[in-house]
């Protein structure tokens, strides 16, 4: 599974990355995490608000930081 975090690298982006990683670990999933900070790549992905969470090719979250439990529910 590929977890992509889109944003500038701000505190909210870091929190989203940490929460997504915690959720994937709780579900014992194999994953790789990518942090995308390039504005052009963010726009090309169709993301309008950051931070954003994309799993494989699906945008699950835009403009907020869900808890690890919320992300875990999205992944299961």
Tens digit of pLDDT at every position of the chain (76 positions): 999 999 999 999 999 999 999 999 999 999 999 999 999 999 999 999 999 999 999 999 999 999 999 999 999 8
Residue 26 CA to residue 39 CA, distance in Å, equals: 31
CA distance 37 to 9: 6
CATH 3.40.30.10 for domain 2-62, yes or no, is yes
**What does the pLDDT read at residue 6?**
98
What lies within 8 Å, CB to CB, of 4 at 6+ separation is: 33, 34, 35, 36, 45, 53, 54, 55
Residue 45 near residue 36 (C-beta atoms within 8 A): yes
Q: What is the pLDDT of residue 13?
A: 96
The residue annotated as part of the active site, out of 13, 23, 36, 53, is 13
| Confidence (pTM) | 0.93
Tell me if residue 13 is catalytic.
yes
Active-site position among 1, 2, 10, 73: 10
Give the residue extent of every domain in the chain.
Answer: 2-62
For position 76, what pLDDT does the model report?
Answer: 86
């Amino acid at each position: 599974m590929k977890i992509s975090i889109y944003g500038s690298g701000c505190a909210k982006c870091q929190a989203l990355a940490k929460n997504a990683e915690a959720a994937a670990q709780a579900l014992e999933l194999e994953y790789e995490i990518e942090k995308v900070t390039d504005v052009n790549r963010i726009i090309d992905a169709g993301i309008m608000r950051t931070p954003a969470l994309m799993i494989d090719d699906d945008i699950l979250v835009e403009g907020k930081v869900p808890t690890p439990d919320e992300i875990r529910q999205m992944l299961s």
